[in-house]
Structure 1
Amino acid sequence: MTVDSVTKVASVGQTDHIDSEKDASAEFTYDRRAERRLRNKIDLMIMPTICLLYLFCFIDRANIGNARIAGMDMDLGMKGFDYNATLSMFYVSYIVFEMPSNVLCKWMGPGWFLPLLTVLFGICSIGSGLVQTVPQMMGVRFLLGMFEAGMLPGIAYYLSRWYRRSELTFRLGLYLVNGPLAGAFGGLLASAILQLDRVGGVTGWRMIFVIEGIVTVGLGIIGFFTLTDRPESARWLSHEEKKLSEERVRSERVAQTKVLDKMDKKKLWLGIFNPITISTSWIFLFCNVTVQGLGFFLPTIVRTIYPTHSLTEQQLYTVPPYAVGSFVTLLLPFISWRMDRRQLFMILSSPLGMIGYIVFLSTTNQSARYGATFLIASSAFSLGALTNSQVSANVVSDTARSSAIGLNVMFGNIGGLISTWSFLPFDGPNYPIGNGLNLGTQSGTLILASIMLLWMKRDNVRRERVEPEELVRLQNMSASEQEDLDWKHPSFRWRP
């Protein structure tokens, strides 16, 4: 790659400080082959670490479901709603620390912040295998939620530093697919671990937490050495590649002169009070009622479908739905990447989940109910990538992006908190309340995503009509003041 790979062809807005999305994208032209080589290098250098960290983040969160059917609830003396309350403690801290964690991630730098979190929640996982009482388990789950709070939004924010808008959805899918993979791999790993007699002085279900926690800590330590904070500090990029990496991202951001801006309170609020951020966050809330509920309760659901099967067989029955969900989690973001569209796929994903929960509500046939879990997994898991990339695509500055993704994930984990109370003991074995709630959230996703798609198209038409008049008003504004407009800039257009 040579300097000619990145050729500056125009300097826009230096005299009148008026910029536009069209001008920004035209400011630099690229050698597409050089850009493809750069993108492949970025994929190779950062995605493997990101995927492994999130895989064990999700395993350490959801392995309590595997531990439960291996005897955890009986050993700790859980009764009534104790299991639901224990799950809730995770989400209480997760929600409280969500936004502060993402702001801290920007301040500290994700290259250091994400591995640090991984080490800390890995230690919490080990601690889960050493507790002796229900209150102790609740305390450890609270700490686990506090340290895991920054992972999902932090990774999404981190990747937005490296990838263009259309590319981001698929890369988010590459790491979020580790959610359903964690369900599949976690079931297999739990089955294998339970074949052991003991690890040190630990036996039974406790080994699941301890062994998986030790692996997590090790991966976090490796992450300190393998994650590069931003393109500018990447020793594995040449000077020309660093320039191309920054400018290809900046070219999509209206009126922005740099990719990484300083922390700005006004931009933080603009990221939060963005119509697409707020509506998409509600969709992610609906999604997580299903995703997290499936993670925590699928082993229990499988046990009610196949009560006479062995413990190992019940664990293994949780694997195929997650495997199918993983495939769809990659397929939809891949198509989204090629089409540079996200809202449409949120709409198209909902009917599968709706059909799955209708099956759960309408029949007790074992084969039909087990088949419904495949439809539900196929519907829900891809929304993690689609929603986070959607809020990222519809803000401009780096600061607004950090708060927008933080709000989206915070709402998602409110859905996770709701999910911990969706499958209650008195509602079993068919769980009509939990299944009815999830049917409602899937329907809510379909309705809200459809309304916002129509709204974006209509508001873009309005923006196109008033843009010339609005641009004239910007002539007396400085470049810095124009940057602070973020998505309120007249040349900004919503990206469906």
Structure 2
Amino acid sequence: MAAIEEKEKLETFVDAGHLDSEVVRRELDSSSVPSFINIDESALVRKIDFRLIPILFLIYITAFLDRVNISNALTMGLQKDLRLTKNQPNIALTMFFIPYVLFEVPSNILLKRLTPHVWLSVCTVVFGIAMLAQGFVKNFGGILATRFILGLAEAGIFPGSFYLISFWYKQDESQKRFTVFWCSVLVAGAFGGLLASAIATMDGFNGLKNWRWIFILEGLGTIIVGMVSYFLITDFPEQAKWLSEEEREFVVHRNGHNKTPHRPIDLKDIGWFFTDPKRILGAFMYWGLVVPVYAYAYFAPTIIKTLGYSVIQTQLRSVIPFAAALVLCLVVAFISDCIQIRIPFALFGYGLAIVGLAILMTVQHDFPVQFGALCLVTMGCFSAGIVIVCWYVMNLHGHFERSIGTAWMISFGNTGGILATFTFLASDAPHYKKGYSICMGGVCLSTLATVAYAGLVVKARRARSIGTEITYSL
């Protein structure tokens, strides 16, 4: 990398009284910026990619599998064996989201205090144990208890991973890395269907139903991943012992995080965060997509089964929409980072989802068309989802905004998961018009929130703070 020959004028982060801007400006004026002449930036980024992304990818595969594998179990007789009646299966799905939503902001604060490698690995082992226990439940109360613990332990994984990743990359590198991590959801969805189709043949093995083996085997795998992850998860750049001191300073410097305050977060910081409507809108952008994303994740096997397929055929066909979405997400990430713009790709995803849902709401008894529409909905929601998450998170500045903001977006957004668990009721089968209508409303709300957010970003790009300009991307 070429030497940095001129001293930069570092941007000041002034957050409603947290810092004295004049004092900070005098300190920055007198500071010198190192040249980092010995750093090969491309090689360093590849090193970061290898150390950071794979283990987080693997952890979230286990998390998402453990969260939604109940949808596969429901097609294999869980409801009958546990004597669940009426909407009890939907209530069991909802139980996961209560602690999941409430604990996400506290979890990000704990992640910062305890370090990522400790907190994320502990959470993974705990939700693995909960998943293993779910394989031995005997009644409705047992499934509620294990789902509650599962949601509590998983609360920190998704926002915590995005929070951690955001501190390692620049704007023009971020979309690809966020997307690779996000694709763990799609891999989990696709792999979950394949795994469930294989486990379906284990019915009666050692006296246990096949749906119990789903929870037992995936729970054991998760516990192993959690124990290994303690040694593999990296912490924030300034704490990364696998980098040299110069490399640590360079990563912090190149991403601009040396310009922002770095101290424990308190209630005053949380109140300050919500003074900017841009930060509030991010959660509504995400909420509208969470409804169809979780509705599909939980009910895809049930919906596909109504198209006339057997249990194993249903599990196998549930893989196809996830695979299609995976390809589109990677293509969008590459192009979006190349041209450095996000909003057209979010709107494109919304468009695909709206078209797919419109078909599902109007077309009946045409299985190929209905299945193709399911693919459009999945492709649209997942591709738009990762674009808006990356866009929003990378427009947050420093530990204050990103710690609170990632948890706020994901926690509030995931309240849409509660609604999603009641979108496709057995009483609405096989056409599920109410469920598709609710998903359509969610996508439209997300579209409106995204347009409003873009308008505020345009306004912010034109405005200047005290002596400096905080950068926002479109």
CA 1:388/1:17 → structure 2, altered by over 3 Å: closer, same or farther?
farther
Structure 1 contact 12–27 (Cα < 8 Å) conserved? no
Question: Within the alignment, does 1:220 sit opposite 2:218 as a pair?
Answer: no
Q: 2:356 maps to what in 1?
A: 356
In structure 2, the partner of 1:172 is 178
Among 84, 88, 104, the alignment partner of 1:82 is: 88
Pick aligned residue for 1:159 from 142, 154, 165: 165
Structure 1: how far apart are the matches of 2:198 and 2:334?
33
Judged with a 3 Å threshold, the aligned counterparts in structure 2 of structure 1 residues 136 and 9 are, in CA distance, closer, same or farther, namely: same
Within a 5 Å distance, the mapping from 1:82-481 to structure 2 comes to 82-196=88-202, 202-250=208-256, 255-256=259-260, 260-306=262-308, 309-364=309-364, 365-461=366-462, 463-464=463-464, 470-471=466-467
Aligned amino acid, residue 177 of structure 2: R
CA displacement 1:426-472 (0-9 Å, x = unmatched): 211110001011111112222221232123213432x14xx5xx43x
Q: Displacement of 1:127 after TM fit?
A: 1.0
Q: Any idea what the Cα deviations from partners look like across 1:54-109, whole Å, max 9, x if unmatched?
A: 01100000100000001111111111111111111011111111211111111211
CA distance in 1, matches of 2:306, 2:39: 54
Letter in 1 for 2:7: V
| Residues 35 and 244, structure 1, Cα contact 8 Å, conserved in 2 | no
Aligned CA distance change for structure 1 residues 74 and 197 (closer, same or farther; 3 Å) = closer
Letter of the aligned partner of 1:123 in structure 2? I
Look up the match of 2:470: 492
Cα distance change of structure 1 residues 244 and 114 upon mapping to structure 2, 3 Å threshold: same
> Is the CA contact (8 Å cut-off) linking 1:93 and 1:145 kept in structure 2?
yes
Query: Counterpart amino acid of 1:343?
Result: I
Against the structure 1 CA distance between its residues 139 and 168, is the aligned structure 2 distance closer, same or farther, given a 3 Å change threshold? same
> Residues 234 and 494 (structure 1 numbering): CA distance in 2 closer, same or farther, change over 3 Å?
closer
2:448 and 2:82 map into 1 onto residues whose CA distance is: 43
Aligned partners of 1:356, 1:13: CA distance in 2, in Å? Answer: 45
Structure 1 residue identity aligned to 2:339: M
User: Which residue type is aligned with residue 429 of structure 1?
Assistant: P
Inter-CA distance 450–422: structure 2 relative to 1 (3 Å threshold): same
Alpha-carbon distance, 1:201 to partner: 5.3
Amino acid paired to 1:127? A
Q: Relative to structure 1, is the Cα distance of residues 197 and 16 closer, same or farther in structure 2, using a 3 angstrom cutoff?
A: closer
CA distance in 2, matches of 1:151, 1:179: 12
Q: Which moved more, 1:357-366 or 1:271-280?
A: 271-280
Q: Secondary structure at the match of 1:435?
A: helix
CA distance in 1, matches of 2:69, 2:47: 33
User: C-alpha displacement at 1:329, in angstroms?
Assistant: 2.2
Partner secondary structure for residue 131 of structure 1: coil
CA separation of 1:28 and 1:349: change in aligned 2, threshold 3 A: farther
Query: CA separation of 1:63/1:11 partners in 2, compared to 1, >3 Å: closer, same or farther?
Result: same
- Within 2, Cα distance between the matches of 1:87 and 1:301? 16
Counterpart contact for 2:325–2:379, Cα < 8 Å = yes
SS of 1:381's equivalent? Answer: helix
Q: Secondary structure at the match of 1:70?
A: coil
Shift of 1:385: 2.6
Alpha-carbon distance in 2 for matches of 1:286, 1:109? 31
Aligned-residue Cα RMSD (Å) equals 2.5
How far is 1:215 from its partner?
0.4
Q: Indicate how the Cα distance of structure 1 residues 362 and 37 shifts in structure 2: closer, same or farther if over 3 A, else same.
A: same
> Counterparts of 1:138 and 1:226 in 2: how far apart (Å)?
32
Query: TM-score w.r.t. structure 2 length?
Result: 0.91
Residue identity matched to 2:361: L
2-structure distance, mates of 1:273, 1:317: 46
Q: Residues 14-53 of structure 1 correspond to what in structure 2 (within 5 A)?
A: 17=23, 34-53=40-59
CA–CA separation in structure 1 for the residues paired with 2:254 and 2:87: 52
Contact 2:350 / 2:384 at 8 angstroms: preserved in 1?
Answer: no
Instruction: Provide the rounded CA distance (Å) in 2 between the counterparts of 1:435 and 1:32.
Output: 56
SS in structure 2 at match of 1:338: helix
Kept after mapping to 2: 8 A contact 1:124/1:213: yes
CA distance in structure 2 between the partners assigned to 1:101 and 1:13 by the alignment:
29
Matched letter for residue 494 of structure 1: Y
SS of the aligned residue for 1:382 comes to: helix
Structure 1 residue 136, shift from structure 2 partner: 1.0
Task: Give the Å deviation of 1:263.
Answer: 2.7
How far has the Cα of 1:199 moved from its partner? Answer: 5.8
Q: Once the two structures are aligned, what percentage of the paired residues are identical?
A: 30
Give the secondary-structure state (helix, strand or coil) at the position aligned to 1:283.
helix
Unaligned runs of 5+ in 2: 13-20
Give the match's secondary structure for 2:210: coil
Tell me how far 1:267 sits from its aligned partner.
3.2
What TM-score comes out, normalization by structure 1 length?
Answer: 0.87
Change (3 A) 1:73 1:13: closer
Alpha carbons of 1:363 and 1:104: their partners in 2 closer, same or farther (altered >3 Å)?
same
Which residue identity is paired with 1:9?
A: K
Task: Give the deviation of 1:113 after TM superposition.
Answer: 0.7
Taking the aligned partners of 1:245 and 1:201, their CA distance within structure 2 comes to 54
